[in-house]
């Protein structure tokens, strides 16, 4: 595809918004959507230096994009994010709610409701707010793509992770409900659920845990951020118009589904 003109790329007339995209899976997703021709609004919450580095990396691929700071768990932050995207790139056609916070693993006795609420805010409240803020244009044009980022932990019943797993389960249910609600408008809503994909946040994870996980992957290798990004981008193409309400597990065959 290297010799193709921008207008021949499958997403060349689309605007994508990817939250939490200054690092890890979010940045990989943004870069893949850009490679397929979309103009991309990237997003971060706190680390401006890292965000500037990510935007430089994104733009070095030749894609068009901007980086916008915003708290995507607040109505005000989402409103500002969507407004800035529309002003600089155009209305949002593709929405990828990817932002997340810390993910500590603890027994139930060591959690409090405040942390449970934080997980709900990231994985249910934020997609809800983002969808509300972008859905009018998608409905009007009878085309849209929403891809939530789930996790295999919901499918494999990971212990000592109840806050994260519960919120991801709620996000999956919301995905299915929205898929049914929005299908008559030509809008698809799906979920991509990665396994353990090593990114910056996993740099200090115990080596024995990494070795044990790798040994249980039927495909015999680690997944990469690019594996996840490719699955997300495929669901955003015009050719995926009849795929909605689905969960795609990107984990080398580990999940029971």
Catalytic residue numbers? 164
Q: Would you say 43 and 99 are in contact if contact means Cβ atoms under 8 Å apart? A: yes
Cα distances from 172 to residues 137, 176, 177, in angstroms, run 24, 6, 9
Contacts of 239 (CB under 8 A, 6+ apart): 10
Q: How far apart are the first and last CA of the chain?
A: 33
Query: Quick one: tokens of 159?
Result: 């212990």
Query: Quick one: tokens of 237?
Result: 């193409």
């Amino acid at each position: 595809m290297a010799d193709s003109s921008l207008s021949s790329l499958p997403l060349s007339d689309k605007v994508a918004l990817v939250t939490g995209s200054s690092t890890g899976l979010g940045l990989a997703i943004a870069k893949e959507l850009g490679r397929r021709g979309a103009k991309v609004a990237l997003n971060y919450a706190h680390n401006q230096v890292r965000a500037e580095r990510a935007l430089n990396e994104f733009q070095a691929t030749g894609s068009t994009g901007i980086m916008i700071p915003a708290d995507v768990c607040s109505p005000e932050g989402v409103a500002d994010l969507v407004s800035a995207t529309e002003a600089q790139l155009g209305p949002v056609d593709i929405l990828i709610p990817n932002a997340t916070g810390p993910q500590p693993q603890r027994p139930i006795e060591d959690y409090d409701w405040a942390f449970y609420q934080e997980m709900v805010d990231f994985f249910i409240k934020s997609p809800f707010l983002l969808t509300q803020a972008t859905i009018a244009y998608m409905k009007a044009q009878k085309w849209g793509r929403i891809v939530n980022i789930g996790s295999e932990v919901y499918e494999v019943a990971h212990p000592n992770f109840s806050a994260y797993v519960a919120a991801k389960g709620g996000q999956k249910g919301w995905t299915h409900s929205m898929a049914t609600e929005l299908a008559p408008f030509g809008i698809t809503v799906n979920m991509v659920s990665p396994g353990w994909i090593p990114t910056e946040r996993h740099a200090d994870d115990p080596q024995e845990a990494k070795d044990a996980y790798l040994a249980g992957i039927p495909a015999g290798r680690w997944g990469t951020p690019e594996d996840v990004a490719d699955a997300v981008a495929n669901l955003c193409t015009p050719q995926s118009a009849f795929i909605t309400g689905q969960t795609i597990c990107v984990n080398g065959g580990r999940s029971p589904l």
